[in-house]
Amino acid sequence: MTNQALPTEVAGDGVMSTMGNTFEAPARRGTRKWRLYSKRFLRNRMAVVGVLVFVLIALFGIIGGHLVPWTYSDVDFLAIGTGPSREHWFGTNGSGNDLYAQLAHGIQRSLTIGVLVSLCTTAVAAFVGSIAAYVGGRTERIVLEVIHFLLVVPSFLILALVSNSVNGDWRMLIVVLVLFGWMYYARVVWTMAMSLREREYVAAARYMGLGPAAVVLRHIVPNIGSMLTIHFTLGVVTTIQAETGLSFLGFGVKTPDVSLGALIGDGSSQLYSAPWQFWFPAVTLTLLTVSMAFVADGLRDALDPNSQAGGHA
């Protein structure tokens, strides 16, 4: 929380300049900062492994589908519900779809939904929450009323209603997930920013004549940055989990489209008779989400100047 308050301590070798020499070439300062971040990130071994696993899964999602003759919607009537073989590497499902091709497509779909939704909700939540806390007065009251109202409206119900009627269109799913996903974070950000707005450096920035947007973007948001980073990365995981739940119940992404959640939903009914239909997507999903969580941890070590992960600066 006091990241901003300790600029000289951030780097013992004087990477970050104090207020007196802000006219120093900004490009050089930026490069040094990023080098420091990457150095600190690379020190967290699990985070590096996480990045590798994540990249591998993402690559599998992007190019994996082109390595086999099947696409995710092709049906092989000669191999219905067969186990892994040379023909179908991960087996087929009850309709004869190649599970490998479906898995590649499912990763693509789930990742797209997860990243886009999390990016939008975190950005909206950070800005709306901090502005409400900093500006105060009538703006704060109105924003909070809107947040509370959207929180009371049961988003899961509306999600189910809407995605049921658009027949599992993933773009609509993104819109609805964002529409009803930002309020919760915004309220958490608001609570944190409430404490921050009383800090001396925020008051100082205000007395120096900075406008509300500038104060929020330069002084409040950076100070909850570590929380926002965690929220973004975990938000991807949460979104994918939410999508898994919706699809499991039959409200999310539906056939003919395929997502990791839909695959797990299909496979879970065949847990004993056709275990590969369940375990391939389940293990992939778990690897994906676990790796992202380790990346979040590494980012925290890298971005938080108070972090003592494996040594100093």
Partner 1 sequence: MTKYILRRILGWALMIVLATNLTYFLASSFLDPRANYLQRRPPVPEFAVNANLTRFNLNDQEPLLHRWWDWISAIVVHWNWGASPEGASVNDQVATRIWVSAEFVLGATVLTTLIGVALGVFTASRQYKASDRVLQQVSVVTLNIPTPVMALAAVVAGIALNNALGRTVLFVSGSGSVGTQGFLHGLLDGLQHLVLPTVTLVVTGYAGYHFLQRALLLDNIGADYVRTARAKGLTKATAIRRHALPTSIIPVATSVAFSIPGIFTGAVIAETIFGWEGMGRYFVTTISKNDIHGAVAVAAFGAVVTAIGAVLSDVVVGALDPRVRVS
Using the minimum distance from each CB to partner 1, give the nearer residue, 70 or 111. Answer: 111
* C-alpha to C-alpha distance for 165 and 259, rounded to whole angstroms: 18
Using the minimum distance from each CB to partner 1, give the nearer residue, 213 or 271. Answer: 271
DSSP, res 17: -
Using the minimum distance from each CB to partner 1, give the nearer residue, 79 or 194. Answer: 194
* C-alpha to C-alpha distance for 6 and 45, rounded to whole angstroms: 27
DSSP string, 224-266: GHHHHHHHHHHHHHHHHHHHHHHHHHTSSS-TTS--HHHHHHH
* C-alpha to C-alpha distance for 241 and 101, rounded to whole angstroms: 21
Using the minimum distance from each CB to partner 1, give the nearer residue, 70 or 254. Answer: 254
**Min separation Cβ 1 and partner 1, Å:** 5
Per CB under 8 A, does 15 bind partner 1?
A: no
* C-alpha to C-alpha distance for 92 and 96, rounded to whole angstroms: 5
Per CB under 8 A, does 234 bind partner 1?
A: yes
* C-alpha to C-alpha distance for 178 and 251, rounded to whole angstroms: 17
Per CB under 8 A, does 273 bind partner 1?
A: no
**Min separation Cβ 220 and partner 1, Å:** 14
* C-alpha to C-alpha distance for 110 and 284, rounded to whole angstroms: 11
Tokens for 7?
């600029």
Tokens for 62?
């992007």
Interface residue with partner 1, options 103, 104, 107, 282 (CB under 8 A): 282
* C-alpha to C-alpha distance for 65 and 59, rounded to whole angstroms: 10
Segment 56 to 115, residues that bind partner 1, using CB under 8 A: none
Using the minimum distance from each CB to partner 1, give the nearer residue, 156 or 211. Answer: 156
Judged by phi (left if over 0) then psi (alpha if -120 to 50, else beta), residue 209 lies in: left
**Min separation Cβ 23 and partner 1, Å:** 28
**Min separation Cβ 255 and partner 1, Å:** 16
**305-311 long-range contacts, Cβ below 8 Å, gap at least 24?**
305/3, 305/6, 305/9, 305/10, 305/11, 306/2, 306/3, 306/6, 307/40, 309/40, 309/43, 309/44, 310/43, 310/44, 311/43
* Residues in contact with partner 1, shown as a per-residue x/- string from 129 to 148 under the rule CB under 8 A: ----------------x--x
Contacts with partner 1 by CB under 8 A: the residue count is 59
Interface residue with partner 1, options 285, 299, 302, 303 (CB under 8 A): 285
Using the minimum distance from each CB to partner 1, give the nearer residue, 48 or 290. Answer: 290
Crossing angle of helices 45-63 and 26-43, rounded to 10°: 100
**Binding segment toward partner 1, per CB under 8 A, in 29-37, 80-88, 172-180, 192-200:** 192-200
Per CB under 8 A, does 188 bind partner 1?
A: yes
**Binding segment toward partner 1, per CB under 8 A, in 100-108, 117-125, 211-219, 243-251:** 243-251
Using the minimum distance from each CB to partner 1, give the nearer residue, 101 or 292. Answer: 292
The site for partner 1 (CB under 8 A) is made up of 1-2, 5, 46, 145, 148-149, 151-154, 156-158, 160-162, 164-165, 184, 187-188, 191-192, 194-195, 198, 226-227, 230, 234, 237, 241, 244-245, 248-251, 261, 264-265, 268, 271, 282, 285-286, 289-290, 293-294, 297, 300, 304, 306-310
